[in-house]
């Protein structure tokens, strides 16, 4: 009996073997060919993918688009929530949200700083405002008559467009 236990639990009398009867113990690890193959595949993926990670123009264009869209929607929501006019004033490469056309009273963003967003060069339009119902008006319009036409901003980076509908003020 002792010889049977010895043969089962010990290989060559050296150390215990954790195996069941009839199950082979395989050596674990990777061959050199497998490691080289993985390195080749990873290096090809790195060559293709790395330029996308270091080229930030696409990310910056998307950030500008998302920020502009969000701030215009925010202007409309603040106008409705506070039952007042909110002006979108364009000055150079930036736009500000204000409670008056002269922008002496800025709208505060949720972060408690003046709501201003930057625009890429080439985006120009006239100042307009959202009334208490969220409808857009040109700065020179007198309510209830609006001469505001459907307005589309084309952002030069990536060709994305932001449209403000004339009747509803829907920003998309």
Structural domains of the chain in order of their starting residue, each with its CATH number: 2-54 (no CATH), 68-164 (3.55.40.10)
| Ramachandran assignment for 121, one of left (phi > 0), alpha (psi -120 to 50 degrees), beta (any other) | beta
Q: 42-56, 71-85, 111-125: which has the minimum mean pLDDT?
A: 111-125
For residue 43, the model assigns a pLDDT of 92
Q: What are the backbone angles phi and psi of residue 6, rounded to the nearest 5°? A: -60, -40
User: In this prediction, what percent of the chain has a pLDDT beyond 70?
Assistant: 81
**137, 131, 134: which is closest to 149 by C-alpha?**
137
Instruction: Give the list of residues 6+ apart from residue 104 with CB closer than 8 angstroms, or none.
Output: 98
Q: Taking a C-beta distance cutoff of 8 angstroms, is the pair 95, 124 a contact?
A: no
Kindly report the CA angle at 35 between 31 and 39, in degrees rounded to 5?
Answer: 170
Which ranges of the chain does DSSP label H, i.e. alpha helix?
A: 2-9, 32-54, 57-82
Q: Residue 144, preceding bond cis, omega within 30 degrees?
A: yes
Structure tokens, 59 = 């990310």
Q: Is 89 helix (H, G, I), strand (E, B) or coil?
A: strand
CA distance 114 to 81: 18
Residue 4 has pLDDT above 50, yes or no: no
For residue 166, the model assigns a pLDDT of 85
Residue 5 has pLDDT above 50, yes or no: no
Q: Taking a C-beta distance cutoff of 8 angstroms, is the pair 72, 110 a contact?
A: no
Pick 112 or 79 by higher pLDDT. 79
Residue 10 has pLDDT above 80, yes or no: no
CA distance 67 to 65: 6
Residue 18 has pLDDT above 90, yes or no: no
For residue 36, the model assigns a pLDDT of 94
Average pLDDT over residues 8-21: 55
For residue 40, the model assigns a pLDDT of 95
pTM comes to 0.67
Mean of per-residue pLDDT scores for the chain: 79
Q: Taking a C-beta distance cutoff of 8 angstroms, is the pair 153, 123 a contact?
A: yes
Residue 62 has pLDDT above 60, yes or no: yes
For residue 9, the model assigns a pLDDT of 52
pLDDT band at 142 (very low <50, low <70, confident <90, very high): confident
């Amino acid at each position: 009996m002792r010889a049977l236990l010895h043969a089962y639990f010990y290989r060559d009398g050296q150390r215990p073997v954790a195996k069941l009867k009839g199950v082979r113990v395989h050596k674990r690890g990777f061959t050199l060919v497998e490691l080289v193959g993985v390195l080749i595949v990873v290096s090809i993926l790195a060559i293709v993918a790395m330029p996308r990670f270091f080229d930030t123009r696409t990310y910056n264009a998307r950030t500008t688009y998302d920020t502009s869209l969000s701030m215009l929607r925010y202007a409309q929501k603040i106008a409705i929530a506070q039952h007042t006019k909110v002006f979108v004033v364009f000055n150079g490469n930036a736009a500000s949200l204000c409670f008056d056309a002269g922008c002496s009273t800025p709208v505060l963003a949720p972060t408690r700083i003046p709501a201003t967003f930057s625009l890429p060069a080439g985006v120009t339009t006239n100042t307009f405002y959202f009334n208490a119902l969220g409808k857009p008006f040109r700065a020179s319009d007198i309510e209830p008559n609006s001469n505001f036409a459907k307005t589309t901003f084309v952002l030069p980076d990536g060709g994305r467009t932001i449209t403000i509908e004339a009747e509803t003020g829907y920003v998309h």
